[in-house]
Homo-oligomer: A and B are copies of this chain.
Amino acid sequence: MSAELIQRIKELEGEVERLKSQLRVQDGAEADTAATARPGPGEHTHCEPNGGTNRKKGRKAGKERPFDFSAHPRRHVALRLAYLGWAYQGFAVQENTDNTVEARLFEALLKTRLIQDRQSSNYHRCGRTDKGVSAFSQVITIDLRSTQSCGGLGVTLPASVDASSETKAAGSELPYVKMLNRVLPQDIRMLDWAPVAEGFSARFDCQSRTYRYYFPRGSLDVAMMADAAKRYEGTHDFRNVCKMDVGNGVLQFQRTILSASVKPVQPQHMSSTDPHDIFIFEIKGLAFLYHQVRCMMAVLLLIGQKLEAPEIINQLLDVDRNPRKPQYSMAVDYPLVLYDCHFEGLSWKQEPEELNHALAALQQHWTQSAVRSHVLHGMMQGLEAMGGVSSKHCWLVEGTRQRNYRPLLERPCCESLQSRIEHFVKRGRLEREEGEDGGEMVHRGKRSRHAHNSPSPSITAHTPISTQSEDQKVEH
């Protein structure tokens, strides 16, 4: 809701700028040469005066002295952040929009001069969340400016400095969390940071990722959903429960789900039958495929509506019997949260008051949201008292229930994996070659958009269980 409104505001602001430019050109005045001016929507403005000027004009102010990064130590760190994804077009930077969490993040990193630029910052992210999806524990690793001239975990000294000659203690590290929170929008918050060894990567060193999907009971059979959820646990080929992304080099779909459960947010809701009770589908895995959680949830919702039996999950995971994915929509985005990214052995450092500030801000945001929910709930009760009858349609799905439900296994199917591979082989995005064991191997081709990146995973005709590395996009 708000996300769409904010998007519209941005579009309109862009249009206003373009029209103004046109007018100036027409007037014969010098064309405005500003880079994309980007005034933030009301919710996002949280600029310090200095940084604010830069940000609003989108170009360097003439007065700035170039900052000499090479004179400072660098430090490889992990940063943990939380964000509400509802007003953004996803976490990852995109070509066609500026409205991403990463874009705001890098603005903040540049504004605070913690990095010189993205390309040289040694940046890795733990997960990519999609448009509308939030995160409580997104983790990134990056090289930041440091004060630690005496060295320390993850610190690289500038060429000019000799650590052994520094007798003066450097004092405490820069207050990264506080510095960034001062310039980030309110709905993106740094929580804490940890020093890490130089080779440590948020992407490759993550032990597990946990997602939560919140939903109301409505008229769902949540007990059946809880039984069904367990069937996702274990190592399976999830090609029928994700959006295949073969073009980007994702060629094998085996993933390990460590746990999958459906539970009420409040324990007493177990015995209750109130349609307003809220439940959480929580899943913990090593790594996830593109839209995997939302597809898993979509199937659970069909089961909860008794349109499918829990066994459908086993059938979808049986890719020998069901090699092609039936057509079904994934669940909506806004209830999904990347709740935890787990790393072993990190020493997370908090800054006093930062958590409290984040908590206070969340309290007010929650208050608005919860009060509105109750205003709406009060009206629902009023309508029921007037004789209105509650809909049996799934409350998470817009529109009305279809009259004739078509079972998943009777639906048209999406393209098979083999067919998609063919498609990209023809275009040179993937290449075939004979493997060592005589089987065929496929890997990213010369024309792949990622041809320059780290080695792509290969797939053979026998599809062994390969390491669930993070070349694959982790997206929902």
Q: Does A29 contact B (CB under 8 A)?
A: no
Chain A interface, >50% SS class: helix
In this assembly, does A382 line the interface, its C-beta being within 8 Å of a C-beta of chain B?
Answer: yes
Q: Which of B9, B26, B27, B276 is close to A12, meaning CB atoms less than 8 Å apart? A: B9
Contacts A9-B8, A9-B12, A358-B383; is A373 near B364 (CB within 8 Å)?
no
Q: Is A288 an interface residue (CB 8 A)?
A: no
Instruction: List residues of chain B with CB within 8 A of the CB of A350.
Output: 386-387
| Contact partners of A13 in chain B: CB under 8 A | 12
Closest CB-CB distance, A342 to chain B, in whole Å? 13
Residue A214 contacts which of B8, B191, B374 (CB distance < 8 angstroms)? B374
Q: How far is the CA of A23 from the CA of B21 in the complex (A)?
A: 11
Name which of A218, A375, A398 has the most chain B CB atoms within 10 A of its CB. Answer: A375
CB distance from A281 to the nearest CB of B (A): 12
Q: Which residue of B lies closest to A336 (CB)?
A: B375
B-contacting 9-mer, from A119-127, A389-397, A409-417: A389-397
A residues 12-71 touching B (CB-CB < 8 Å)? 12-13, 15-16, 19-20, 22-23, 26-27, 41-43
Q: Say yes or no: A383-B362 contact (C-beta < 8 A), given A1-B2, A16-B12.
A: yes
Contact of A216 among B214, B367, B386, B398 (CB under 8 A): B367
Residue A154 CB within 8 A of the other chain: no
Q: Chain A, 88-126, contact with B by CB distance < 8 Å: what is the 0/1 string?
A: 000000000000000000000000000000000000000
Contact B391 A42 (CB under 8 A): no
A386 cross-chain contacts in B, Cβ below 8 A: 191-192, 350, 355
A356 touches B134 (CB 8 A): no
Copies of this chain, complex-wide, total 2
Most buried by B among A82, A136, A393: A136
Within 8 Å of chain B (Cβ to Cβ): is A5?
Answer: yes
Set of chain B residues within 8 Å of A372, measured between Cβ atoms = 86, 334, 369
- A388 at interface by CB-CB < 8 Å: yes
- Which residues in chain A, 323-377, are within 8 Å of chain B measured between CB atoms? 334-335, 337, 339, 350, 355-356, 358-360, 362-377
A362 contacts which of B134, B376, B389 (Cβ < 8 Å)?
Answer: B376
What 11 new A-B contacts, CB under 8 Å, besides A278-B371, A350-B387, A367-B396?
A8-B9, A9-B12, A26-B27, A84-B376, A134-B379, A136-B382, A137-B382, A334-B371, A335-B371, A356-B388, A363-B395
